[in-house]
Amino acid sequence: MEGPMDRYHKLGLQQSFSRIYQYPLACKELALILKLSYSKFPKNLQSLVLQDVLTAFGLLPRMQTQTAIHAANTLLQAVESALPKQKKAQAVTEFKHAMVAHKRHSKARNNEEDLVELPQDVLVHVFSFLDLQSLLSSSQVCRSWNIASTDSHVWKTLYTNTSNILSKINNHVHGELINDKCTQEGSLDWKNIFKKAYEAFSWKKLLTSSRGFCKHCHAIVWVTDMGNNKTFGLKCKYHQINPISTRQIVEYIDGEYASSDSDNDSDCDSYDDFAPKLWAYPRRSEFSH
């Protein structure tokens, strides 16, 4: 029978901390686990959680984003409220060392000369690997990134990748985004095609969720990993993935989470609010050259 240690292992946090795009979310998950469940864990699991905290802080200098810094600070606050004195001191020391290294690396980058702006075709290629939320964030960085984020090739790739992910997540939503007419080559407005498909899609939350729960494997997965066969912990051939919140992840570790088909309807309003932000890109004139 599975215990909290087994369920915690299925989160795959160790792997997530090394990925820039998953690091902030993994830190926030670990922070909530510390606050709500650490005191109830057996000693061997408490030791593992502490090791993951040290790993997260140790990898912080490699992240180089404000989102990562904010997430690490959230984790630090959880450490200060949940860990006993000796373990807290160890984690806080690791965090301070990480911040010193982060500042040193940032200063070195700022002092580099001959920095050039990436060509537009390179930006478009890079953006074609982003998920929905990352593309939204990137579009608001600067003028050149905003232009690249509206490129039709980016949205065509996003459309294709999303269909691929959905086909592996849940067979009864497979095909809901796929349209044979849309997948034909041609001068199509792929951003508008994706927008129409998104607004008609009944499982919007899957497209904006980072984590999901497979009802067959009883495992927590990164939804964005479903399309590239990197998913950690899935053993079944046919998956049925429901979106899962950070608090539900804690319930899962504690053995208190009960998945149901109605989970995908929860927090519906917050995900409907995501759509207007997605289509309402800042005007290019707002960005300085």
Residue matched to tokens 């932000």: 277
pLDDT of residue 8: 94
Residue 119 pLDDT more than 90? no
CA distance 62 to 220: 26
Helices (H), the chain: 4-9, 13-17, 23-37, 43-63, 66-82, 85-110, 120-127, 132-138, 143-149, 152-169, 190-200, 204-208, 246-253, 268-272, 274-279
Q: Considering only residues 14 and 271, tell me which one the structure prediction assigns the higher pLDDT.
A: 14
CA distance 287 to 123: 17
pLDDT of residue 154: 85
Residue 11 · residue 44 · CB < 8 Å: no
pLDDT of residue 210: 76
CB atoms under 10 Å from CB of 258, counted, come to 9
pLDDT of residue 267: 44
- Indicate the average pLDDT of the chain: 75
Residue range 77-92: mean pLDDT, rounded:
96
pLDDT of residue 157: 83
pLDDT-based confidence at residue 216 (cuts at 50, 70, 90): confident
pLDDT of residue 274: 52
Residue range 15-28: mean pLDDT, rounded:
89
Residue matched to tokens 């960005």: 287
Residue 83 · residue 91 · CB < 8 Å: yes
pLDDT of residue 96: 96
Residue 136 pLDDT more than 60? yes
pLDDT of residue 181: 47
Query: Of 239, 105, 225, 106, which Cα lies nearest the Cα of 165?
Result: 225
Residue 98 pLDDT more than 80? yes
Residue range 96-102: mean pLDDT, rounded:
93
Question: How does pLDDT run across 219-270, given as a tens digit for each residue?
Answer: 887 876 655 555 444 445 555 677 788 898 999 998 888 765 445 444 444 4
Question: How does pLDDT run across 33-59, given as a tens digit for each residue?
Answer: 999 999 999 999 999 999 999 999 999
pLDDT of residue 180: 44
Residue 281 pLDDT more than 70? no
Residue range 67-83: mean pLDDT, rounded:
95
pLDDT of residue 224: 63
CA distance 206 to 135: 16
Residue 256 · residue 198 · CB < 8 Å: no
Three-state DSSP at 289 gives coil
pLDDT of residue 187: 58
Residue 49 · residue 40 · CB < 8 Å: no
Sheet holding 219-222, edge to edge: 219-222, 211-214, 241-243
